[in-house]
Structure 1
Amino acid sequence: MGHKEKLIIKEVNKKNKSEWSRFYSSYYAALCVYVSKFIEDTDAVEDLVQDIFIKIWESDHLFESHEELTNYLYRACYNNALLYIRDHQIRSSILSVLAKEEDLSVSQDDELYILTVKEEIIRQLYYYIEKLPTEQRRIILLRVEGRSWNEIAEYLGVSINTVKTQKARSYKFLRENLQNSPYIVLLFLFFP
């Protein structure tokens, strides 16, 4: 590792603001270009990359080499881009189902309220889906994407009985956690 790279690592680890600014400037554009290969929304790309820098700044982790730092930046960008895509697909799927159920005669005054309620519904449902065990969560998220139970079994390379068992366990967990919530109806809307 060259002197310049050692200095960058040392100053990044110390949270030196002037060196941090140079570090940010030297990586920011390249990371945005990298993330834009996965995500088309420029604002989302910039937010995602900035979040990575914020996490590094707030972290106590000390990087040992320039290579470790570079690998971390690109790996974090890649992982966060995949999470963004997954979350965006789930949100779009849920909103499209809700749009089909919505009364089309809603006034413009109520549109903001409806949008707020929809976002809260998505947040609540997604919150509990994320608490499911890994296999159950994968099955439910594939269902949210619009796949049939048979397609899910085929995609995961498991039997339909395994999918049904995991579905039943997921429903039980979601019902227990949503039982006092108006969102329980979502189980029947999204996962028939």
Structure 2
Amino acid sequence: MMINLKDDSEKDKYILELFQTSPKEAFRLLFDAYHMKLCIYAVQLTDSFEMAEDIVQDFFIYFWEKKYYLKINQNLRYYLYLSVRNAAINALQKNNMLSMEELSGIDMGIPEESIDEEEQEERNKLLLEKLQKLPHQELQVVRAVIMENKKYKEAAEELHISVNTLKTHLTRALKQLRKEYNLHSLFY
């Protein structure tokens, strides 16, 4: 079955339907479509790429093991972002990084439901411009880890740097992107 990849709501509907007949294939599509978007969203909430990645990874494992995909009868995208938001809040509170008072001052909005194609193209252009302004090493790290979805170890070996150096470059790059432009709006 061919799905329109530009229409997120149709893709989400297809994924939910596919969970009924082929859960593994549906999970792979879901993971590919949302893993990095959810990581970026979680970074905004936690200010830590490592913590964000752990939160999203744990969410996907829990989602799969508990078969929550069978219980979704609403908007898939909203469910995913809400779940990650709640997991981020729990992680921040568990690590004593966030009190209830601080929580009220943080914008934890869930990304808007849809963006038209023209607006998305404009945002993609802006993102590319911002990426080109990053130092060479940071750009390479962002490309490997975020755009190519490589594991830290694999990307570090490819770039001939340590995993810790890679994490440092990634953190700097994301902070710079967040500082220069509203990172949240670039990806949604």
- TM-score with structure 1 setting the length: 0.41
Task: Name the structure, 1 or 2, with higher relative contact order (CA <8 Å, separation 6+).
Answer: 2
Please say which structure displays the higher CA radius of gyration. 1
Higher helix share: 1
